[in-house]
């Protein structure tokens, strides 16, 4: 039995099967939320933006031509919705992204320490990303966290392929320097205690 593609579900939705759209929402909701969160830095706002994206996508589904992947089309909508939100709010973007620790997922003390170290690294990267301008944050998120190709990114942000490569390279360098300035002092302060 062959697995249905996004296009199969889209055809079903266009034929009146609303449940097929629920499958697409379930498939892409985490990706949409992640991009919105990286752009606006607030969980509640990101959830609202992701929901708005799916409503907009549903009402515009008849305009989806299928020339790009459905996920790329969705990314473009969430990107624009996030930009509109930022413009409307005109406020400083602060991160309230705090992951919850589920006690059941932590078995032994060693697992707990590894988990906390991974969380600390993740939070350090999140804080560093928030120090970058919005466009650079988006490019790094799409390329590294969402693992989109450069071609897909050009379709989402409407920047030329070469420009995306250049901006991504510069963004990586900036992120490296931000992380270096955060990590080196911690390492040096730990080393001086010995």
Structure tokens at 139: 């490019």
**pLDDT, averaged across the chain:** 77
10-30: per-residue pLDDT in tens? 999 989 888 889 999 999 999
Segment 105-114, tens digit of pLDDT: 444 444 545 5
Torsion of CA 9, 142, 130, 37, to 10 degrees: 0
State whether 86 and 142 are in the same domain. Answer: no
Distance of CA 10 to the CA centre of its chain: 23
The token duo for 72 is 């790329």
CATH number at residue 36: 1.10.1740.10
Q: And the tokens for 155?
A: 């379709």
Is 159 in the same domain as 112? yes
Residues 64/73, Cβ–Cβ less than 8 Å: yes
What is the span of the domain harbouring residue 39? 1-95
Domain boundary among 44, 75, 95: 95
Cα four-point dihedral sign 76, 38, 145, 97 = negative
Q: Which residue has the higher pLDDT, 97 or 130?
A: 130
Kindly state whether residue 19 falls inside one of the protein's structural domains.
yes
* Domain identity same for 91 and 110: no
The answer to whether position 100 is within a domain reads no
């Amino acid at each position: 039995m062959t697995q249905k593609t996004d296009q199969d579900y889209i055809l079903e939705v266009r034929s009146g099967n609303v449940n097929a759209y629920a499958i697409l929402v379930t498939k892409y909701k985490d990706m949409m939320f992640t991009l919105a969160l990286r752009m606006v830095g607030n969980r509640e706002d990101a959830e609202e933006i992701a929901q708005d994206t799916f409503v907009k996508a549903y009402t515009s589904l008849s305009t989806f031509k299928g020339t790009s992947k459905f996920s790329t089309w969705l990314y473009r909508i969430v990107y624009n919705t996030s930009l509109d939100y930022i413009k409307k709010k005109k406020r400083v973007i602060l991160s309230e992204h705090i992951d919850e620790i589920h006690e059941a997922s932590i078995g032994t003390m060693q697992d707990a320490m590894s988990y906390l170290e991974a969380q600390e690294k993740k939070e350090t990267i999140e804080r560093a990303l928030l120090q970058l301008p919005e466009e650079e944050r988006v490019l790094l998120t799409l390329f590294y966290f969402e693992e989109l190709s450069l071609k897909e990114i050009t379709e989402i942000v409407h920047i030329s392929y070469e420009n995306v490569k250049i901006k991504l390279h510069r963004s990586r360098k900036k992120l490296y320097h931000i992380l270096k300035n955060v990590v080196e002092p911690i390492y040096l302060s730990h080393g001086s205690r010995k």
